[in-house]
Amino acid sequence: MFSTLKEIIIANFKNLATLWSLGLRALERQRRDTIFGWFWLFAQPLIYVLAFGVALEVGIRQERNFESTRPYLLWLAGGVYPWFFIKWIFGDGRNIFKSQSRLIKTNVLPMAAIPTVGLMPQLIVFLLTYVAMLLIAWPFGAPPTIYWLQLPLIAALMIFFVYCFSLMVSCWSALSKDFANVIKVLNTPIFWLSGIIFNISGTTNKVLKAFLDINPVTFLVNAFRDSVYFDKWAFTSLHTLLPFLAVLLLTALMAWRNYHLLKSEVLDAL
């Protein structure tokens, strides 16, 4: 199995320039034949932030106890923008081997690099939108602090989780359409039950609290918010850090195992 792990690592790092180029081409295809071009790539998360911000701030406002005077939209954007990257695994990322079967059949890239092909356009959009959010937040009372130094590590953990999850489930999805549909259905409940649009510190339901504690999306979203909105270190709470690391390790091991055991079957299915 260690040869499989070596194959996965080499497939991604050796072809990093090609993967980045394919990501840019994918974004170029998405904006082709549109008047506003690149605007549409960033419009959806921006509209989400504005719509939810108005709905929660004005429509169903409640006491949030954020202990911060910074704009609520900054708090909301800090969760929505990472989610727009993570949610790829419930869409194209869950079945990336089938959707990119042409690249596999023509041997353009190693099979282990295929999930990276899919997530690269999402990563480019995330990086651009998040940096833009940080620049806009500065004059609104959220200047750079030492806590921003956590952001590259948090982003790296998020990318690693998304890649491993995609690799893990795509092996199963290539062999079972039913499994692919199950993962797709998880998109909505994970969004609403990950603390993306509500403050988890006020959660009293024990079942929901337990789910939030082991939910990697919850940890990642709140790590970004701790860094930018609350000016806190994101890795000091062991009761949230340890479950996240456990789930991350389990996901990585399952991705490694599935790729090792099912690679030939996936190739036959394609």
Chain mean pLDDT for the chain: 81
Please check the confidence at residue 34 and state whether its pLDDT lies above 80: no
* Burial (CB count within 10 angstroms: exposed 0-12, middle 13-18, buried 19+), residue 195: buried
Q: What is the DSSP string of 129-188?
A: HHHHHHHHHGGGT----GGGGGHHHHHHHHHHHHHHHHHHHHHHHTT-HHHHHHHHHTHH
Each residue of 203-218: pLDDT tens digit? 777 777 888 888 999 9
What does the alpha-carbon distance between residue 35 and residue 37 come to, in Å, rounded to a whole number?
A: 6
- Please check the confidence at residue 62 and state whether its pLDDT lies above 80: no
- Reply yes or no on whether the pLDDT at 7 is more than 70: yes
Summarised one tens digit per residue, pLDDT across range 72-118 is: 788 888 888 999 899 988 888 888 888 888 888 888 778 888 898 88
Predicted pLDDT at 196? 84
Q: Place 61 in a pLDDT band, splitting at 50, 70 and 90.
A: very low
- Find the helix packing angle between 16-31 and 114-137, rounded to 10°: 70
| Closest of 135, 53, 125 to residue 82, by C-alpha | 125
Tokens 């998405």, located at residue: 30
| Least confident interval from 13-27, 32-46, 101-115 | 32-46
pLDDT of residue 150: 95
- Residues near 254 by Cβ (< 8 Å), separated by ≥ 6? 164, 168
Q: Is the pLDDT of residue 159 over 90?
A: yes
pLDDT, greater one: 203 or 4: 4
Domain boundaries, the chain: 2-269
Mean pLDDT value across residues 125-129: 88
